[in-house]
Structure 1
Amino acid sequence: MNVFAVEGLPEIEPGDDIAALVEDRVELGTDDVVCVASTIVSKAEGRQADLADFPAGDRARAIADTIGDIAGEQKDPRFAQAVLEESEELLLEAPFMLAVTRFGHITVNAGIDRSNVPDSDLLLLPEDPTASAQRLHDALDAPVIVTDTSGRPFRYGQRGVALGWAGMPAARDWRGRLDRDGREMGVTVQAVVDELAATANLVTGEGAGGTPVAVISDWEFGDFDGSDDLFREHEDDIIRAALKEWSYAGD
């Protein structure tokens, strides 16, 4: 497959038409997959915010004090309040806030960004990234993945993940197919939207490059059953259940 970043996009402002900006700069085929960083989706959807918008309650102040004590520096309780308001629940309150977003993604600080937000303190994730992807898909007539970067349990570093998608399934199902030794596979369901998001992240970058959209061409989903199951249900998520029983005890 081929992957390239869309060059020349301007700083995105509330109300901007991302699809039109992309179409002005690249000719898309219907088999191309367009990966769009959630940061510009949030900016276009007016998801910028200031800390003053989140007056801290008692729980936020307690969380900020605890994390501040652990880190050895003062933490702004208004930021903790913003995380609480953007979350369905917190799985961890210390040594950092691990939040379940309202659309099912689990990430540190509810994915709230404090970089590349020129006119505000904070940039919140899109309220419904799959709906955002659907609108872009309808306009571009190509599959769309709304991406973000996220840390990984058991590993250092971040990688791209899919927050929302439209025009293609989230995963392809290898179950029932045979491996090279003729054994039937029974568990493999490949999360292709995450793999494509990570691929796009290699060319869009993380810093000041200003290339938040990537196009992936010459890739095919293949003759597989598809699934949109990506975020685990509560009842079969044993890691989530274990975290609810765990609390930070310090050194």
Structure 2
Amino acid sequence: MQLHPVPGLPEIGPGDDLASLVAERVDLDSGILCLASTVVSKAEGRIAALDEFPAGPRAREIAARLEERTDEEKDPRFAQAVLEESTDLLMESPFLLTETRFGHICVNAGIDRSNTGGEDLLLLPKHPSESAARVSEALSVPVIVTDTCGRPFRHGQRGVAIGWAGTPASRDWRGESDRDGRELGVTVENVIDELAAAANLVAGEGDGGVPAVVVEDFEFGEMDGSDEHFRDVEDDYVRQALRGWSYE
């Protein structure tokens, strides 16, 4: 497997055709295209000003509580933006852990305040898998929309998939055998997260980052695939535990 950054992409703005911009720079007869959510959001006009989110009572309450706990000034308009981009608020302190409207659990609904193109906020794409499908159809290759976020029990951030099209999300090893001949009963490999993390190593971070990476010569294999990616609430025991937990 080889990964190559797509060179020379310009600053992306609302209405830009990502598929065409990528096709002008690389020959994509095959492979998988990994696109950073930042450029997808910019192309879809998901750039916003804080004033677009006048703070309601709950947002002001959340911001005040966070200020008290962290000793840092918090803008209640930002809290309002997080609330409007979320379907569930799993933690309110010492940070906001939310579920986005498309099922991704992350801090602050994934709202970015860097690389925003000069505006206050950059929101995640509304429907990242639909965004991936549009680019995938135009280029005739699978597409993964990636983001970076932290994970429990780990320091730092890594690349993860938040949308995909043209490839299964995971491959199911259950029923296969390990090296001792024992049947695997729970192993389901999240392929799109692994590819997103690999692409992030090539893409980089900060002002030197590249927002598009092509994965070549990856083979999914013959085993069963599925689109299971975001864990269901009924099977997410950590999430269930958080519902009865409060920060002290």
| TM-score class, shorter | over 0.9
Whole-angstrom distance in 2 between the partners of 1:225 and 1:90 = 34
RMSD after superposition: 0.7
Superposed counterparts of 1:14-33, under 5 Å = 14-30=14-30, 32-33=31-32
Paired residue type of 2:226: S
The question of 1:92 aligning with 2:91 is answered: yes
- 1:45–1:126: 8 Å Cα contact kept in structure 2? yes
Partner of 2:33: 34
Partner of 1:134: 133
Q: Deviations over 1:143-175 (max 9, x none)?
A: 100000010101101100000000000000101
Q: Deviations over 1:52-111 (max 9, x none)?
A: 000001110111111111221211000000000000010001000000001000000000
Partner of 1:4: 4
Q: CA deviation at 1:239?
A: 0.7
The question of 1:123 aligning with 2:122 is answered: yes
Paired residue secondary structure (1:156): coil
**4+ residue segments displaced more than 4 Å:** none
Partner of 1:181: 180
Whole-angstrom distance in 2 between the partners of 1:178 and 1:118 = 50
Paired residue type of 1:14: P
Superposed counterparts of 1:147-186, under 5 Å = 147-186=146-185
Q: In terms of mean alpha carbon deviation, does 233-242 or 141-150 score higher?
A: 233-242
Q: CA deviation at 1:29?
A: 2.2
Q: CA deviation at 1:212?
A: 0.2
Whole-angstrom distance in 1 between the partners of 2:72 and 2:200 = 32
- 1:36–1:214: 8 Å Cα contact kept in structure 2? yes
Paired residue type of 1:90: L
Partner of 1:237: 236
Whole-angstrom distance in 2 between the partners of 1:178 and 1:103 = 34
Partner of 2:223: 224
Gaps of 5+ in 1: none
Q: CA deviation at 1:118?
A: 2.3
Whole-angstrom distance in 1 between the partners of 2:137 and 2:239 = 35
Q: CA deviation at 1:248?
A: 0.9
Superposed counterparts of 1:66-77, under 5 Å = 66-77=65-76
Partner of 1:214: 213
Gaps of 5+ in 2: none
Q: In terms of mean alpha carbon deviation, does 66-75 or 154-163 score higher?
A: 66-75
- Percent identical pairs in the alignment equals 65
- 1:9–1:210: 8 Å Cα contact kept in structure 2? no
